[in-house]
Amino acid sequence: MSPLDMSPDLDPRDRGGEQQPLLIVRDLRRHFPIKGAGGRAVKAVDGVSFDVRKGEILGVVGESGCGKSTLARLLLHLIRPDAGELVFDGDQVDAPRGITVAALRRQAQMVFQDSYSSLNPRMPVRDSVAFGPFVQGEPKAKAREIARDMLAKVGLNPDQFGPRYPHELSGGQKQRVNVARALATNPRMVILDEPVSALDKSVEAQVLNLLRALKRQFNLTYVFISHDMNVVRYISDRVLVMYLGKIVELGPVDEIFSHPRHPYTRALLASRPSMDPARRMEEPPVTGDPPNPIDPPSGCRFRTRCAYSEPLCATSEPALSAMGGGHIAACHMLDPASGHSAAGAMS
Amino acid sequence: MSQTVVFPGSAVSPHEDQAAPETRIRSYWQSVGYRLRHDKATVFFGTMVLLIVLSAVLAPWLAPFDPYKESIIGRLKPMGWRGHLLGTDELGRDMLSRLLYGGRVSLLMGIVPVIFATCAGGALGVIAGFMGGKVNTGIMRTMDVFYAFPSVLLAVAISGAMGGGMSNGMLALTLVFIPPMCRVAETATTQVRALDFIEAARATGAGTMTIVRHHVLGNVLGPVFIYASSLVSVSILLASGLSFLGLGVRPPTADWGLMLSTLRQSIYVVPVVCALPGVAIFITSICFNLVSDGLRQAMDVRM
Amino acid sequence: MTRYILQRILYAIPIAFGVSVVCFSLVYLAPGDPLQTILPPDATAETIEIVKKAYGFDKPLPIQFAIWLSKVVTGDFGMSIATRRPVFDEIVMAVGNTGMLVVFAIPLAFSIGFSMGLLAGCFPGKVVDRSVTGIAVFGVSLPNYWLAIVMVIVFAVELSWLPATGMGPKGSDAFSVWRWSDARFLVLPVITLSMIPIGIIARTTRAAIAETRNQDFVQTLRAKGLGEMAVIRHVVKNALPGVLAVMGLQFGYLLGGSILVETVFTWPGSGFLLSKAIVNRDVPVLQGTILVLAVAFVTINLVVDLLQSLIDPRIRRG
Ligand SMILES: Nc1ncnc2c1ncn2[C@@H]1O[C@H](COP(=O)(O)OP(=O)(O)OP(=O)(O)O)[C@@H](O)[C@H]1O
Ligand SMILES: [Mg+2]
């Protein structure tokens, strides 16, 4: 981590100081009840705890359907959590003594996965960008001014692109507009839900670089969701790996990529396409479909697809254990006392 | 950051204008207007609709005779008889004048219910669609009950039970059109509500009313408007049907459906004259129908 | 499958209930005292008292509804104000006569509408297509009672080929479809009635055919060298279920639409009964007829849905 990447000067809105995590997430849970399934539910996010540090980019990876978007929406209270708490810069969200959801949304914003449906098709994009500041109390003219400014900041000429409708923009341009829209309300934290997964490689690189430049310029903190390990490695400071609604591993990016601990993380790394033979691992890539999130496997959720699965894994659920250096993972093999035959060999 | 740079660090060039062609940017409604103006058939039938409406509005100035002036000797005369361009009816009143005046009632009874139903049904549909859940189920299941009646039957039932008359007829037709209108608005709203830009708007902290006003209505208005325009023709047919059954205005007021009904006794005497009010209904209905079709096509812009 | 059928039937029950609530409240929509609206104006004080008791008019509305519903399900629809006969008997006869019209009108409408749609769908954009589309617009814009009058003018008044109105001298009871002297009376009403759905059936068929023709499997058939006629047979087989479903719905609409047509032809069916009830302010008859027709409509919808789900498994999941 180069010192340039850290934010040296603190935001005037900062309350807790540099050491206070910007966002603390504790035991966040959200189950979606299924109609006609007799009270059963999709366990989209099932007890998730982590911190987002000030000024960092926290990458979140996981397969499709593991609950990444649900997590992102929970962080902004766009859907209500069933349980758990959020603490934003020391203030609990939506609690009697904390800050309101509205206050949270003044400081945190989101860029959505689908760049197409996240812009109103009947609105010129400059109005979409201006909507946020307008709602948060700026007069119309000022909001327009901010929108022009933000469009320019994301590399779109406001005179040329501002009056256009979403269908008149390319995917990359739409995603730039989405970024401008998220930044128009001057947030401190931005949650980016797969912001580049719909773009082709060259545009992807441009948008990623834009995001880094903007982060530096505006002192932002990112939660960056992706299913692409390469993208996450490029952009993140720390990486969180999710599997079926739970965290399986979390740690600094270099640690995760050089010493992945959880079999799932290793399998994910092995599944990425790579031309470099040195980067290939012994690990078999993830195979098969993920299990049904309505009835996730007992014990360790990954055991049905894990090469090291033992009877123990079906009966007891592994806890997240610390490996030092802020690296944690949830696997019986990492816990010498667990009774797994490979326990201790890995740590 | 680690040493491996996966992506060649192309710096962000300010204002990269990605070969954007200099096209004039039109808003949705502007482009709809443009397409409408260039659709000859729709322009023609639109003009017809305009003429029909104008002739009804200007009936007092256009009508050659007093539409209520009866004549014992001039009953049921053929077209062209003594200056009566379209003949006379069973009480010797001038057909042309009565048709012009009749258009006022017929158009009013056809259009007003559509306007009311669009407002009421559209609002209910947007509420049902945007609130979802129990509110949606409650509203939509109630609508399903009214859907279970064939439309003519429901209109006849309500206005028949209420004893007929023009305002009862309009009320009945409004009630008939609210459920389908509500369904159209609900479907459109439900579709829009699932899109991310609504979430994005909520993420900025916008309240429900603000979101509905700025983000939902604009997207729902199109389908609702198209559907409403197609209802006008149906409504004119139904309204004159009610009058034909004696559930509309009372004699001697002129109304196309009622005229058709009273002239029915006289088809053996002047068949062509007796069929005239039906021709008026038919032409009006077909013009509204074709304009609505043109509108639908013009508004079918992928955006 | 059974699950779908059960679900669909369960869903129809609250609808039927709602329909009966609407019909029940018709009496209360009528201006004035509801008791007056279901009794002849010259009813004696005794009769009024009896009816008041029987229908529970002194009790709260939900109870009145329950009493009314329990009578209705056993076929007791009250007395007609105009004829003093049980409403039920009148309705049974009238619905039978309307059914006779509909039974002939539907196949006629279907064969004409389907052929038109098929032609248009096979030659999209051609003159046939455009003329069929034009005729379809005509069809849906046509006031059918006016068409009825024009039919009478042309075929009964001017040409004197067919009788204008009624069911013949012997009336409804002795009417036989198999005797031409009786069946003559059917011709004009049936043709007029069949005109209502032709446009819609032609439109639906056209859309279904055009859509099916663009599907991959049709291209494959063509690529395999199948003749155009054989391809069309395949296309028709695939488009048919959707068209049949729309037609099933039209069946219900015809029951409603026949009100006006029957009035012109004074055909003693349910529609004519309704229009007489309107003229006579005969609310019990109005209420009973509407209820029977609406429940029939709900049932037909149900049957059509179930039949369609038997033919086309895709529906069940939707
Ligand atoms: N509103 C909802 N109602 C019911 N189930 C839902 C809802 N939203 C998400 N789910 C379910 O929750 C699970 C997690 O969904 P989510 O969208 O969070 O996954 P994701 O990790 O973002 O996947 P992707 O990479 O495809 O975007 C899925 O099984 C999904 O079907
Ligand atoms: Mg997602």
User: Is the CB of residue B258 less than 8 Å from the CB of residue B249?
Assistant: yes
Chain B contact for A131, CB < 8 A? yes
Q: What pLDDT does residue B201 have?
A: 93
The preferred substitution site among A28, A31, A32 for testing ligand 1, maximizing ligand atoms within 8 Å of CB, is A32
Ligand 1 touching residue A44 (CB < 6 A)? yes
Q: What is the mean pLDDT of chain B?
A: 83
> CB A257 to CB B204 under 8 A?
no
Q: What is the pLDDT of residues B178-202, one digit of tens each?
A: 999 999 999 999 999 989 999 999 9
Check residues C311 and C64 and name the one with the higher pLDDT.
C64
| Same domain (yes/no): A235, A303 | no
Element of type H or E holding C241: helix C228-265
Q: Which of B13, B210, B218 sits opposite A122 (nearest CB)?
A: B218
> Which range among A31-45, A81-95, C237-251, C296-310 shows the weakest confidence by mean pLDDT?
C237-251
Ligand nearest to the CA of A60: 1
Q: Smallest CA–CA separation between A312 and chain B, in Å?
A: 37
Check residues A176 and C42 and name the one with the higher pLDDT.
A176
Alpha helices (H) along chain A: 68-75, 101-107, 125-135, 140-153, 158-161, 171-183, 201-218, 229-235, 253-258, 263-271, 311-315
| Same domain (yes/no): A233, A301 | no
The preferred substitution site among A43, A60, A70, A117 for testing ligand 1, maximizing ligand atoms within 8 Å of CB, is A70
Q: DSSP string spanning C196-218?
A: HHHHHHHHHHHHHHHHHHTSHHH
Q: What is the mean pLDDT of chain C?
A: 81
**How many angstroms is it from A45 CA to the middle of ligand 1?**
9
Nearest CA among C78, C23, C86, C2 for reference residue C296: C23
> CB A76 to CB B28 under 8 A?
no
Residues whose CB is less than 8 angstroms from the CB of residue B19 and which lie 6 or more positions away in sequence, other chains included: none
Could you give the percent of chain B with pLDDT greater than 70? 89
Residues whose CB is less than 8 angstroms from the CB of residue A90 and which lie 6 or more positions away in sequence, other chains included: A15, A16, A20
Nearest CA among C121, A202, A257, A70 for reference residue B2: A257
Ligand 1 touching residue A338 (CB < 6 A)? no
> CB B157 to CB C286 under 8 A?
yes
Mean pLDDT is highest, among B117-131, C46-60, C195-209, for: B117-131
Task: Return the SS3 of A109.
Answer: strand
Q: Smallest CA–CA separation between B24 and chain C, in Å?
A: 31
Structure token pair of residue B269: 């005497």
**Model confidence at B303: pLDDT above 60:** no
pLDDT tens across the length of chain A (347 residues): 444 444 445 677 888 778 889 999 999 999 998 876 677 889 999 999 999 999 999 999 998 889 999 999 999 999 999 999 999 998 999 888 889 999 999 999 999 988 788 899 889 999 999 999 999 989 999 999 999 999 999 999 999 999 998 988 988 999 999 999 999 999 999 999 999 888 888 889 999 999 999 999 999 999 999 988 999 999 999 999 999 999 999 999 999 999 999 999 998 888 776 655 555 555 666 777 778 878 888 889 998 888 888 888 888 899 898 888 889 999 998 888 888 888 766 54
- Architecture category of domain B4-8+25-299 in CATH: Orthogonal Bundle (1.10)
Residue range C94-284+297-311, CATH number: 1.10.3720.10
| Same domain (yes/no): A214, A319 | no
Q: How many domains does chain A have?
A: 2
Q: In this structure, what CATH number is given to the domain that contains residue A156?
A: 3.40.50.300
Alpha helices (H) along C56-86: 61-73
Q: What is the pLDDT of residues B252-284, one digit of tens each?
A: 888 898 888 888 887 777 777 788 888 999 999
Separation of CA C116 from chain center:
22
- Number of residue pairs across A and B with CB atoms under 8 Å? 118
A214 lies in some domain: yes
- What is the rounded distance in angstroms from the CA atom of residue A280 to the CA atom of residue C62? 76
**How many angstroms is it from A224 CA to the middle of ligand 2?**
12
Sequence ranges of the domains in chain B: 4-8+25-299
**How many angstroms is it from A226 CA to the middle of ligand 2?**
8
**Would you tell me how many other CB atoms lie within 10 Å of the CB of residue B37?**
12
Nearest CA in chain A to B215: A120
Chain B contact for A124, CB < 8 A? yes
Q: What pLDDT does residue B7 have?
A: 39
**Model confidence at C311: pLDDT above 60:** yes
**Would you tell me how many other CB atoms lie within 10 Å of the CB of residue B289?**
22
Contacts of B196 in chain A (CB under 8 A): 112-114, 117-118
- What is the rounded distance in angstroms from the CA atom of residue B34 to the CA atom of residue B40? 12
Q: What pLDDT does residue C185 have?
A: 79
Chain B contact for A171, CB < 8 A? no
| Same domain (yes/no): A232, A336 | no
Nearest CA among B268, B233, B236 for reference residue B255: B236
Sequence ranges of the domains in chain C: 94-284+297-311
Q: What is the pTM of this model?
A: 0.84
Ligand nearest to the CA of A242: 1
CA quadruple A324, A328, A334, A338: dihedral sign: positive
- Supply the residue whose CA is at minimum distance from atom 31 of ligand 1: A65
**How many angstroms is it from A189 CA to the middle of ligand 2?**
19
Ligand nearest to the CA of A73: 1
**Domain membership of residue A313 as a residue range:** 297-347
- What is the rounded distance in angstroms from the CA atom of residue C276 to the CA atom of residue C87? 13
Ligand 1 touching residue A171 (CB < 6 A)? no
Residues whose CB is less than 8 angstroms from the CB of residue C306 and which lie 6 or more positions away in sequence, other chains included: C5, C8
Q: Which of C30, C153, C298 sits opposite B161 (nearest CB)?
A: C30
Q: What is the pLDDT of residues C99-124, one digit of tens each?
A: 888 888 888 988 999 899 888 888 87
Ligand 1 touching residue A70 (CB < 6 A)? yes
Structure token pair of residue A276: 């470099």
A38 lies in some domain: no
> Which range among B77-81, C148-152, C201-205 shows the weakest confidence by mean pLDDT?
B77-81
| Same domain (yes/no): A317, A188 | no
Element of type H or E holding A27: strand A23-33
Q: Smallest CA–CA separation between B235 and chain A, in Å?
A: 30
Adjacent-strand bridge partners of A83: A29
**Model confidence at C315: pLDDT above 60:** no
Q: What is the pLDDT of residues B58-97, one digit of tens each?
A: 888 887 878 777 777 767 677 777 776 777 777 778 888 8
Strand order in the sheet with A83-88: A41-52, A23-33, A83-88, A91-92
User: Is the CB of residue A60 less than 8 Å from the CB of residue A245?
Assistant: no
Q: Smallest CA–CA separation between B130 and chain A, in Å?
A: 15
> CB C145 to CB B274 under 8 A?
no
**How many angstroms is it from A103 CA to the middle of ligand 2?**
25
- What is the rounded distance in angstroms from the CA atom of residue C31 to the CA atom of residue C281? 11
User: Is the CB of residue C184 less than 8 Å from the CB of residue C245?
Assistant: no
Q: DSSP string spanning B52-91?
A: HHHHHHTHHHH-SS-TT---STTTTPPTTBTTBTT-B-TT
A135 lies in some domain: yes
What phi, psi does A194 have (nearest 5°)?
45, 60
Adjacent-strand bridge partners of C145: none
b/e per residue, A129-144, with b = 16+ CB within 10 A? Answer: bbbbbbbbebeeeebb
Q: Smallest CA–CA separation between A44 and chain B, in Å?
A: 18
How wide is the angle at C-alpha A23 spanned by C-alphas A18 and A28, nearest 5°?
155
Structure token pair of residue C271: 């529609």
A156 lies in some domain: yes
- What is the rounded distance in angstroms from the CA atom of residue C158 to the CA atom of residue C72? 46
> CB A170 to CB B18 under 8 A?
yes
Ligand 1 touching residue A250 (CB < 6 A)? no
Q: DSSP string spanning A1-16?
A: --GGGS--SPPTT--S
Interface test with B, best of A35, A113, A131, A193 (most B CBs within 10 A): A131
Alpha helices (H) along chain B: 28-37, 40-57, 59-62, 95-131, 133-147, 151-161, 166-193, 196-203, 208-211, 217-244, 256-263, 271-299
Structure token pair of residue B113: 């219910």
Contacts of B8 in chain A (CB under 8 A): 205
Could you tell me the CA-to-CA distances from A328 to A7, A243, A244, A251, A321 in Å, in that order?
A: 25, 14, 17, 6, 5
Q: What pLDDT does residue B122 have?
A: 95
| Same domain (yes/no): A239, A304 | no
**Model confidence at B18: pLDDT above 70:** no
Adjacent-strand bridge partners of A226: A61
Q: What pLDDT does residue A276 have?
A: 58
| Same domain (yes/no): A72, A153 | yes
Strands A23-33, A108-111: pairing is unpaired
Nearest CA among B230, B94, B112, B100 for reference residue B166: B112
Touching partners of C (3+ C-beta pairs < 8 Å): B
